[in-house]
Amino acid sequence: MTWTVPAEVEDALWAATRRHLPADVVGGPGLTAAVVDRSRRYTSDRDRLATPGAGLAAAGDLAARALFFTVADAPKAAAVLAELGDRVRWHGDAPLRILDLGAGAGAMTLGALGHAAAIAATRPLAIDAVDRDAGALAILADAVPAAAAALGVTATVTTRRLELGASPPARGDGFDLVLLGSVLNELDGAAAQAVTRAALGAVADDGAVVIVEPALRECARALHAVRDAVITGGWAQVWAPCTRRAAPCPMLADPRDWCHEERPGGLPPRAARLAQVTGLRDGALKYSYLVLRRGPGHVGGDDAAVRVVGHPHRSKGKLEAPACGADGLVTLRLLSRHRGDATRALDRARRGELLRIDGGARHDDRLDVGAGASVTRLVPAGDPDPA
């Protein structure tokens, strides 16, 4: 499955951005330059992330965020929500209440809309979008209703201008979903933990907090540290991506390691042209994430489940795949002579997939999938088994 934003969502963002920003920055060389500059801020020039802009430069930066990065990031939210499956009740009559913290121009909200449309959700979405950027919220408030109508989803939006340091109170019985997209990486460790606790305080007992961050090493490792704080503090259960319930995260042992997702991704027409002229994005959807819930359990179901955390490697006579599970990091090894129907799921595995290993033989940091062992692919909702 290739994860991408529906064209209707991109159309709604362009229409909204044209209504709220000068024509000089919505397209052409100005937009291209702003996309390149914002990409550098996200990667090599991260010390400029918080640099304030003014006038046309600020408008260009907002256009870049709305028209390229929001479009590119929205499918990440959809992919994570698909993995949650029916643990979020998308069908029924009562509104499904969503809090989008640090919403920006709406990447996480639009990803939720796309997922709702994909599964023909019947509950109306009641979205509360919070951000300090009034301009971004104006684009979100304009684009989301139009995108929802085009996708056949019922949605209402309320926006609040608020610094994330000010904890937004839960309303009524709490939110079904609290979304944070590319928020924590702009905060220090203590602030990231505080915002995570605030998000957990705003979610209903049967709801979920979804945190999506860049796949960059430093960003992912900072998220691993948040994961450990959630576990050691007893704030919630880490439902995904981990099938390991204990702290510390094994990836933190070596500063060269980090865990992130990589799934097939695509871009709708306008964003694809921007990617081509700027040389950005390679077609893969890359991100790190956490899903936090109050109830027990994790995405894999039991201690036999592992997540493939790197690209499988084939060499003469064997396949090896790095994985993480209840006992930490382990290398799954499948010899050619043991390939067959029972182990086909490992033979076809990709980074990010969930596997259940039965009958493997553990040897230190290696798990041999040999004669008599079986491997089952645990298929997340919306991510069908590859042909």
What is residue 52's predicted lDDT score, i.e. its pLDDT? 65
* Cα distance between the two ends of the chain: 11
Calculate ∠ Cα 187-188-190, nearest 5°: 115
Residue 382 has pLDDT above 50, yes or no: no
**Residue 274 belongs to what H/E stretch?**
helix 269-278
Look at the block and give the residue holding tokens 């043991």.
338
Query: What tens digit of pLDDT does each residue of 43-65 get?
Result: 888 888 777 678 889 999 999 99
| Cβ neighbours of residue 150 closer than 8 Å, sequence gap 6 or more | 6, 8, 9, 11, 12
Taking phi over 0 as left and psi of -120 to 50 as alpha, with beta for the rest, 363 belongs to beta
The predicted model gives 376-385 an average pLDDT of 66
Measured in degrees and rounded to the nearest 5, phi and psi for residue 216 equal -60, 145
Q: Tell me if 7-293 shares its fold with 305-378.
A: no
The predicted model gives 175-199 an average pLDDT of 95
Query: What tens digit of pLDDT does each residue of 7-49 get?
Result: 999 999 999 999 999 999 999 999 999 999 999 988 888 888 7
Query: What tens digit of pLDDT does each residue of 86-144 get?
Result: 899 999 999 999 999 999 999 999 999 999 999 999 999 999 999 999 999 999 999 99
Inter-residue contact 14 to 67 (CB < 8 Å): yes
At the fourth CATH level, which superfamily is domain 7-293?
Answer: Vaccinia Virus protein VP39 (3.40.50.150)
Query: What tens digit of pLDDT does each residue of 216-258 get?
Result: 999 999 999 999 999 999 999 999 999 999 999 999 999 999 9
Q: Give the global pTM.
A: 0.95
Residue 170 has pLDDT above 70, yes or no: no
**Residue 286 belongs to what H/E stretch?**
strand 284-293
What is residue 381's predicted lDDT score, i.e. its pLDDT? 45
Domain ranges of the chain: 7-293, 305-378
DSSP letters along 163-221, please? -TTSPPPP-TT-EEEEEEES-GGGS-HHHHHHHHHHHHHHEEEEEEEEEEE--SHHHHH
The predicted model gives 342-363 an average pLDDT of 93
| Cβ neighbours of residue 252 closer than 8 Å, sequence gap 6 or more | 221, 224, 225, 228
At the fourth CATH level, which superfamily is domain 305-378?
Answer: Nucleic acid-binding proteins (2.40.50.140)
